[in-house]
């Protein structure tokens, strides 16, 4: 039986989907403090350029262990900066969710995500008012902590990850 049809023992696909939908909603609603709480204590938010290379010897678009993730959220919520003034509005579409078990007791959830992003402000100006699709395969490693699903790793593999990018100063 294909795992995506029923999930694996301990995590049904429906529960994984609900979790991803909730995460997407928190990001799109800018409930980022709440989003931080979705992670395990040592969770990592990672947007690699090349995930086959060791992270310590390669730059990533984002490599955020807990403190860096907190800093990113603090920056977005409390410190105005030109690349987010005006802000981005985002909308996540989550699909193709599959659940597999890891041999370390963690669950691996793979999804396809299209994130539509638009900068607010005077839409007649350059860079504002253009809806941009950001297309990615996303891999979550989830664990149960006190009965709650938590993100040990969120890896976002943009389909154009080694190519030229525009402003990505928001949470994907």
Partner 1 sequence: MAVSGSTLPVRSRSGVDPEALVLEGPHTYRVHTRAYTDPAVFEAEMQRVFARTWVYVGHESEIPRPGDYKTAHVGLQPVIVSRGDGGEIHVLVNRCVHRGSVVCRSPRGTANYFRCPYHGWVYGKDGSLAGIAMREGDGGYSEHFEAPAGLLRLPRVASYRGLIFASFNPEVPSIEQHLGKAARLIDNKVDRSPAGEIVLRSDPYVVTYKGNWKFQAENIVDGYHFTFVHEGFVKLQERYGDATGDFGVHRGRSMAEVRRIRARGVSWGCAQGHGLSAKPVDRIEPLLEGHFGDYYRGLLERHGPERVAWIAGSGAMSIFPNLGIIHQQIRVWRPLAPDLTEVTVYPYELKDAPDEINQGWLRSQERFYGPAGHGMPDDVEIFALNQQGLEASSVDWLILERGLDRERVDEDGDHEGLPSGETPQRAFWRRWKRLLAEG
Site residues (CB under 8 A) for partner 1? Answer: 47, 49-50, 53, 56-63, 67-68, 71-72, 74-75, 79-83, 125-127, 162-169
Of 143 and 161, which has the nearer Cβ to partner 1? 161
Encoding tokens for residue 138? 């996303």
Provide the minimum distance between the beta carbon of 64 and partner 1 in the complex, in angstroms, as a whole number: 9
* Residue 61 or 94 having the CB closest to partner 1: 61
Q: What are phi and psi of 13, to 5 degrees?
A: -60, -35
In what helix (H) or strand (E) does residue 63 lie, and over which residues does it extend?
strand 62-64
CB-CB contact of 110 with 102 (8 Å): no
- Residue 115, token pair as written in the block: 């994130």
**Complex with partner 1: residue 13 or 137, whichever CB lies closer:** 137
Handedness of CA 107, 18, 159, 3 (dihedral sign): positive
- Of 14 and 71, the one with the shorter C-beta distance to partner 1 is 71
Please state the closest distance from residue 163 (CB atom) to partner 1, in A: 6
Q: Taking the complex as a whole, how short is the minimal distance between the CB of residue 24 and partner 1, in angstroms?
A: 18
**Is cis: bond before 86, omega within 30 of 0?**
yes
Nearer to partner 1, 100 or 165 (CB): 165
**Is residue 84 within 8 Å of 171, Cβ to Cβ?**
no
Closest approach of partner 1 to the CB of residue 67, in Å = 5
Any bridge partners for residue 39, and if so which?
Answer: 151
Secondary structure (3-state) at 14: helix
Residue 132 CB, shortest distance to partner 1, in Å, is 12
């Amino acid at each position: 039986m294909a795992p995506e049809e029923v999930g694996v023992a301990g995590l049904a696909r429906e529960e994984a989907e609900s979790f991803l939908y909730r995460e997407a909603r928190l990001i799109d609603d800018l409930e980022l403090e709440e989003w931080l709480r979705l992670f395990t204590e040592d969770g990592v938010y990672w947007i690699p350029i090349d995930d086959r290379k060791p992270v310590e010897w390669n730059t990533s678009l984002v490599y955020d262990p807990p403190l860096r993730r907190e800093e990113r959220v603090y920056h977005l919520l409390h410190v105005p900066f030109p690349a987010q003034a005006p802000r981005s509005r985002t909308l996540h579409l989550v699909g193709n969710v599959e659940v597999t078990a890891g041999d370390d007791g963690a669950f691996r959830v793979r999804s396809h995500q299209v994130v539509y992003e638009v900068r607010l402000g005077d839409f007649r100006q350059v860079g504002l008012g253009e809806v941009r699709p950001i297309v990615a395969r996303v891999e979550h490693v989830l664990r149960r902590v006190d009965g709650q699903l938590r993100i040990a790793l969120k890896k976002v593999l943009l389909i154009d990850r080694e190519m030229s990018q525009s402003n990505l100063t928001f949470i994907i």
